[in-house]
Structure 1
C-alpha cells in the first residue's frame, strides 16, 4: 500500500513499537501501512460512521490483519479504554472538532503519550489548546498534496513554553526551523485573513467590532513575520 504525502508524513511521526489509535480512520490506510511495514505491531482504527467503519473492517480483514488492527465504530476516543494506546492520530477534521474529541474523554487523553493532529482548519486553536493543557509540540510539518497545504502537529505531555500569539497561527516549530514551505504557508494565512477582512468591510457594525480589530492586528503580525523571511 502506498500512502499520499499527507498520510506518509503522519506515519513518519508514529514511534516504532507504539500502539496507535487512528481516530476517524476512514479506510484504515494508516494502521494497515504501519502494521504491514512492522513499524507497529498493533493498532486500533475507529470511526463514528458506519460506512467508513465497514470499509476499514473489510480492508483489514482482506489483508488478514484482524488480530493486529482492531476496527471499532464509535465517537472519537470512545473507542478506547485508558492506557490502551500510546499514540493517537486525529487527522482530517476541523480544529474545534479535534479539541472536542480530546476533551470529551479526559481519562483517555491523559493516558496517551503522543498526539499526532492534522486539523483542516483552525490549527491555531489546536496549538493553543495543547499549550494550555500541558502538551508541548515536538514536531510540526507542512505537506502539499493535490494543491493544498496541510499542517501536521505532534505533541507530547509536558509543560509548554509560552510563544508569541502569532506563532499559534504559523506553528512555532515551523517558524523556528524555517520549514521549506513556510513562506507559502504564511502567504496563505495572510490571503485568508485579507479575505475575511474584505468580507467584513461591507458592514459598519463588523468594521467597528472587536473581531475586526483583532483580525487586523493578526494580519499585521503575519505580514511582519513574512517580511523577516
Structure 2
C-alpha cells in the first residue's frame, strides 16, 4: 500500500506497536499501510457511510488483513469500545465535526494515548478544544498535496500553557519550528480572513457585529506574524 503525502505524514505520527482507530477511514488505506509496515499491531477502521465502509471491507479482505483490521460501520467513536484504541486518527473532516466526535465518547478518549487530527477547516477551534480539555499538542505538520495545504495535529494527555490567540490559528509548534510551509500557511489564513471581512463590509449591519471586530483583530495579528518571518 502506497500513501499520498498527507496520509504518509499522519502515518509517521503513529507510534510503533499501538492499537489504532481510524475514524472516517474511507478505503482503509491508512490502517492497511500501518499493519503491512508492522508499525501497529491491529486497527479499527470506522466509517459512518455504507459506501466507504464496504470499500474498506473489500480493501482489507483483498490484502488478507481481516484478522488485524476490524472494519466497522457507525458514527464516529461509537464503533470503538473504551480501551480498544491507544491512538485515534480523525482526518479529512471539519474542525467542529472532529470536536463533536471527541466530545461524544469521553469514556473512549479518556483511555487514548494520542490523538492525530487533520481538520479541513477550523483548526484553531480544534487546538483551543485540545487546550481546554487537557491535551497537549506534541507535533504539528503542514503538508501540501495536489495544490492543497493540510494541517496535521498530534496531541497527548497533559496540560499545556496558554498561548497568544493567533497561535491557535497558526499552530504553536508550526510557529516554533518555523515550518518550511509556514509562510504559505499564514498567507492562506490571511487571504481567507480578508475575503470574509470584505464580504461583511458589503453590509452596514455586518460591520457593526462583534464578529467583524473579531475578524479584523485576527487579521491584524496574522499580518504582524507574517512580518516576523
Aligned residue for 2:112?
A: 112
* TM-score in terms of structure 2 length: 0.99
- 1:149 and 2:138 equivalent? no
Aligned residue for 1:165?
A: 165
Secondary structure in 1 matching 2:40: coil
* TM-score in terms of structure 1 length: 0.99
Aligned residue for 1:179?
A: 179
2:228 and 2:5 map into 1 onto residues whose CA distance is: 28
Question: Aligned ranges for residues 77-156 of structure 1 at < 5 Å?
Answer: 77-156=77-156
1:174 positional shift:
0.1
Aligned residue for 1:227?
A: 227
Report the count of equivalent residues: 229
Gaps of 5+ in 1: none
Aligned residue for 1:43?
A: 43
2:130 and 2:160 map into 1 onto residues whose CA distance is: 8
1:43 and 1:214 map into 2 onto residues whose CA distance is: 42
Residues 175-215 of structure 1, C-alpha deviations (whole Å, 9 max, x = no match) = 00000000000000000000000000010110111000000
1:169 positional shift:
0.2
Moved over 3 A (4+): none
Q: RMSD of the alignment, in Å?
A: 0.4
Gaps of 5+ in 2: none
2:83 and 2:204 map into 1 onto residues whose CA distance is: 52
2:160 and 2:217 map into 1 onto residues whose CA distance is: 24
1:122 and 1:99 map into 2 onto residues whose CA distance is: 10
1:74 and 1:141 map into 2 onto residues whose CA distance is: 29
Secondary structure in 2 matching 1:160: coil
1:196 and 1:126 map into 2 onto residues whose CA distance is: 20
Aligned residue for 1:18?
A: 18
Aligned residue for 2:193?
A: 193
Aligned residue for 1:203?
A: 203
1:107 and 1:4 map into 2 onto residues whose CA distance is: 32
1:160 positional shift:
1.2
